[in-house]
A = this chain, B = another copy of it.
Amino acid sequence: MKRIFASVITIGDELLIGQTVDTNSAWIAQRLNHMGIWVCHRLAVGDVREEILDALHYESDHADLVLITGGLGPTNDDITKKVLCEYFHCSLREDPKTLERVKKMFSSRNFPMLESNLRQALVPDCCTVVPNDYGTAPGMWFQSNHVIYVSMPGVPHEMQGIMTDRILPELKTHFTLPVILHRTLITMGLGESQVAERLISFEKSLPDNIKLAYLPGNGLLKLRLTVLGDTQQVLAHELDQYYVVMKDILPDIAVIEDDVSLEGWIGELLKKNHLTISTAESCTGGLIASKITSVPGSSAYYKGSVVSYANEVKERILNVPAEILERYGAVSEETVIAMVKGVNTLLHTDLAVAVSGIMGPEGGTPDKPVGTVWIAAGAADKIRTHLYHLRYGRSRNTEITANYALRMLGEAIIDENKRV
């Protein structure tokens, strides 16, 4: 079967001056990859006629499908539509349905309708209009010399809506796609090269149609096996076999057998076991709570957090004894144990996790340098603790600490479930 190759062109000066991080490309690549379309390129260019034309020519030589985002806004610097007309040798026409939709959108929101908003209804006359239910600029579908081009707005939630509702289903019928399956194992505790060393002969044993990818995150390493072929059932069986072999090589570091977030994994564990949790955060300053509550439905098991940035708050609200703070300091095993006990009692929860550390750049001492972090997790009568020494900048230290805390909380939940 012929493989389908795609490329993504993102248009906009904001990408080239570094004000905007391009999350669209990753989102698009993930969705296409999961349905068996291989993204071979991503190209970002500015709002410049020649650059856009160059990019279109370059990608049309490389791909069967070119997805274009950006440059469709109402302001003067947005020129994508004009350039698409030039590239496809056609002209702009007014699309009555889009015009109606834009007018309706403004009147329902009680926004004044501007001249520039009306221009959103102008589309190249050689394209098929793809309605946008999330904003004013419509999507546009072109076909030329066996290549499909789709132009979409760069606003992430609009692009995601158009892709999900319209483009992905259309691509499935347009192309004959292979079956592609993935299985992910999330590990923690060893670096990429150490894991790779342990998997050398496993990797050599993989057949041509199975690939192993190493995807390191903040304190995590995802191992993803991907299989490509024709028959769903045969492939699933083959993938499962290799997955089990891989997992058995790494029993000490395997954490989650699924491509989920740590907070999603914890949510599932808690719902299954009917347990509630709370958090007490010092150095992570609310990041753990923020991650836990990013999961829809987390209110079923999560009661809340005390972010005790000041020592006084640890003492007064979380009941960490003053003598512990004085004798061992805020960054100590004794303090995080007391924080777990305190927040469990205060918020009436089964389990809690607490962190205290020095994230940098200031605040380090010879005894406790920047990167020193204590984490504790558990129920009042059974608390596990761990000391970490991180060696990055403030934001990365915080991100890694939050991940370690979630991992420890997950282990505490599994443990608690065995006890009850």
Does A15 touch B at the CB level, under 8 Å? yes
- Extra contacts, 4 of them, besides A15-B25, A75-B196 (Cβ < 8 A), are A16-B39, A16-B40, A42-B44, A111-B194
Nearest chain B CB to A116 CB, angstrom units:
5
Q: Tell me which of B74, B304, B393 contacts A307 (CB under 8 A).
A: B304
Does A56 touch B at the CB level, under 8 Å? no
Number of copies: 2
Can you list, as one digit per residue, whether each of A264-287 has a CB less than 8 Å from chain B (1) or not (0)?
000000000000000101001111
Q: For residues 204 through 226 of chain A, which have their beta carbon under 8 Å from a beta carbon of chain B? A: 213-215, 222, 224
Q: Tell me which of B31, B44, B48 contacts A25 (CB under 8 A).
A: B44
Q: Tell me which of B38, B45, B73, B296 contacts A362 (CB under 8 A).
A: B296
Does A83 touch B at the CB level, under 8 Å? no
Where the two chains meet, the residues of A that have a C-beta atom closer than 8 Å to any C-beta of B are 13-23, 25-33, 38-46, 48, 51, 54, 58, 62, 73-77, 111-112, 114-117, 157, 191-194, 196-197, 203, 213-215, 222, 224, 279, 281, 284-290, 292-294, 296-299, 302-310, 312-313, 317, 346-348, 360-363, 392-396, 398
Q: Tell me which of B15, B40, B51, B213 contacts A19 (CB under 8 A).
A: B213
Residues in B neighbouring A306, C-beta threshold 8 A: 304-307
Instruction: Please state if B215 and A14 are interface contacts (CB–CB under 8 Å).
Output: yes
Residues in B neighbouring A360, C-beta threshold 8 A: 296
**Cα of A196 to Cα of B308 in the assembled complex, Å:** 43
Nearest chain B CB to A312 CB, angstrom units:
7
Instruction: Please state if B33 and A17 are interface contacts (CB–CB under 8 Å).
Output: yes
Instruction: Please state if B203 and A76 are interface contacts (CB–CB under 8 Å).
Output: yes
| 30 A-B contact pairs sorted by A residue (CB < 8 Å) | A14-B213, A15-B42, A17-B30, A17-B213, A19-B26, A19-B222, A19-B224, A21-B21, A21-B23, A21-B26, A22-B26, A25-B44, A40-B48, A41-B51, A43-B43, A74-B192, A74-B196, A111-B191, A116-B196, A157-B392, A284-B293, A286-B286, A286-B287, A289-B307, A296-B361, A298-B309, A302-B309, A303-B309, A303-B313, A304-B317
In the complex, what residue of chain B is closest to A29 when comparing beta carbons?
A: B18
In the complex, what residue of chain B is closest to A119 when comparing beta carbons?
A: B193
Residues in B neighbouring A25, C-beta threshold 8 A: 15, 18, 22, 44
**Cα of A54 to Cα of B298 in the assembled complex, Å:** 47
Given contacts A22-B25, A197-B114, contact A286 B297 (CB under 8 A): no
Nearest chain B CB to A180 CB, angstrom units:
10
Q: Tell me which of B193, B203, B299 contacts A116 (CB under 8 A).
A: B193
Nearest chain B CB to A64 CB, angstrom units:
15
Given contacts A13-B213, A16-B40, A74-B193, contact A305 B317 (CB under 8 A): no
Instruction: Please state if A305 and B307 are interface contacts (CB–CB under 8 Å).
Output: yes
Residues in B neighbouring A75, C-beta threshold 8 A: 192-193, 196, 214
In the complex, what residue of chain B is closest to A259 when comparing beta carbons?
A: B19
Instruction: Please state if B157 and A393 are interface contacts (CB–CB under 8 Å).
Output: yes
Query: Which interface residue of A26, A31, A394 has the most chain B CB atoms within 10 A?
Result: A26
Query: Which interface residue of A40, A117, A394 has the most chain B CB atoms within 10 A?
Result: A40
Instruction: Please state if A310 and B304 are interface contacts (CB–CB under 8 Å).
Output: yes
**Cα of A398 to Cα of B291 in the assembled complex, Å:** 12
**Cα of A159 to Cα of B45 in the assembled complex, Å:** 22
**Cα of A58 to Cα of B395 in the assembled complex, Å:** 35
Instruction: Please state if B312 and A348 are interface contacts (CB–CB under 8 Å).
Output: yes
